[in-house]
Amino acid sequence: MGAAMVPVWAVASQRVKRVVTSRYVPLVALGAAYSFLVMMLNVPIPDGTSAHAVGAVLIAVLLGPWAAVIAVSVALLIQALFFGDGGVLAYGANAFNMAFVMPMVGYGVYRALARGASLTARRRAIAAGVGGFVGINVAAFVAAVEFGLQPELFTAADGTPLYAPFHLAQSIPAMMLAHLTVAGPVEFALTAGIVAYLQRANLAILRINHPGLPALGGGGLRLRPILIGLAGIVALTPLGLLATGTAFGEDGPDELNLHKYDLSSVPHGLQRYSDFWSHSVLGGYGFASGEHPVVGYLLSAVTGIGLIALVVSAILLAVRRLSAPGAGRVA
């Protein structure tokens, strides 16, 4: 994982340097110190306790995604080396999840949702919050996949897992449950709250990464009804479980009504490829054990949405970068 981060760091430092030149070192250093402290701030949650946020998407919104990559990486290094939090060898994986995947995905979501909104628009603050929510959940999903692959890849001769013991079907629900219910909303609250506060109290700070954006006007698109509607659709996905019968050939060749198509046997090619996808993560849209079908179905839906959001935001980011005037510049 560390090897994957080397080119990312190289690109990030080139991009940040090109924009801020000699201010690069103090700016990113202070950004890293800030990132470390944001991870330390306790955010109160309704049960009376408090939780931490990561703040990677926040820094991406304030300073740009590439500066966030470096700032969060340095903050994680200080944590790993000096305070012994998180293993030294896990540093590469941690940096990939929290310093690369999270700010990039979150920033992509933020840019997509805040498109055309003025600097002080409420939609911009909510877009930053949603970016934080999606960013941390996609990062958690990636981390869960990293965990879950470990028992497949590294086991002793007698089958004892050498590293993380949980399989994908166990690690993904465990990670996603915690992040969708607690860590994600905390990230949303902090990211949206800070942007909203800066909109009221210190607009100059928001201008750093949004030069030339009008302070007022814009708005337009009402976000809340769309989000509520989407959430409703997600919540209703288990309805499909009530339906009888199956979608055409969706589950496997053995469910095909062969007589209907004047076939005497399952076509050879179909038979061969039908087993190809049988190793999927949430097979049959549920847990491998088949327990809790509704929970499994919902989780599959949310996971799928997260994945789609990842792909869509990556495409959006790429399109924006290519189509922006003076392509290659950090916004």
Partner 1 sequence: MSAAGGRTPRWLLEAQPGLCPCGCVGRRSRRGFLDATLAGAAKVRGEALLGEEAAERPGRLQRLDARAKLVAALALIVAVALARSVAVLATVAVLAPALAVATRIEVARFLRRVWLVVPLFTGLIALPATLSVITPGDMVLPLGHPFGSELGVTAQGLQGAALIVLRVGASVSIATLLALSTPWPALLAALRSLRAPRAFVLVAGMAYRYLFVLLGVVEDMYVARKARGAGTANRGIAGARAGRASVSAAAATLFARAYGMADDVHLAMVARGWRGDARTLRPGALPRIDLLYAVAAILFALLAIGADHALA
Which residues make up the interface to partner 1 (CB under 8 A)? 9, 13, 17, 21-34, 36-38, 40-46, 48-50, 55, 58, 62, 70, 74-75, 77-78, 80-85, 87-89, 156-166, 170, 189-190, 193-194, 196-198, 201-202, 205, 208
By C-beta, is 162 or 308 nearer to partner 1?
162
- Minimum gap (Å) between residue 165 Cβ and partner 1: 4
- Minimum gap (Å) between residue 262 Cβ and partner 1: 45
By C-beta, is 169 or 256 nearer to partner 1?
169
By C-beta, is 244 or 289 nearer to partner 1?
289
- Minimum gap (Å) between residue 261 Cβ and partner 1: 41
Exposure on the CB side of residue 84, measured as CA atoms within 13 A: 0
- Minimum gap (Å) between residue 185 Cβ and partner 1: 10
201-239 in b/e burial notation, b at 16+ Cβ within 10 A?
Answer: eeeeebeebbeebeeeebeeeebeeeeeeeeeeeeebbe
Cα dist from 133 to 125, 152, 172, whole Å: 13, 29, 17
- Minimum gap (Å) between residue 71 Cβ and partner 1: 8
- Minimum gap (Å) between residue 304 Cβ and partner 1: 25
By C-beta, is 139 or 309 nearer to partner 1?
139
- Minimum gap (Å) between residue 167 Cβ and partner 1: 8
Hey, what amino acid is at 108? G
By C-beta, is 38 or 301 nearer to partner 1?
38
Q: What angle do CA 10, 86, 67 make, to 5 degrees?
A: 30
Q: What is the largest CA-CA distance in the chain?
A: 74
Residue appearing with tokens 């991009």 = 15
Burial class (CB in 10 A: 0-12, 13-18, 19+), 43: middle
Residue appearing with tokens 């490829």 = 273
% helix, strand, coil for the chain, step of 5: 70, 0, 30
Q: Hey, what's the torsion of the CAs at 92, 89, 309, 129, to 10 degrees?
A: -90
By C-beta, is 30 or 241 nearer to partner 1?
30
Residue appearing with tokens 């692959």 = 149
- Minimum gap (Å) between residue 106 Cβ and partner 1: 16
Q: What is the CA radius of gyration of the chain?
A: 22
By C-beta, is 162 or 231 nearer to partner 1?
162
- Asked if 195 contacts 124 with a C-beta cutoff of 8 angstroms, the reply is yes
By C-beta, is 85 or 275 nearer to partner 1?
85
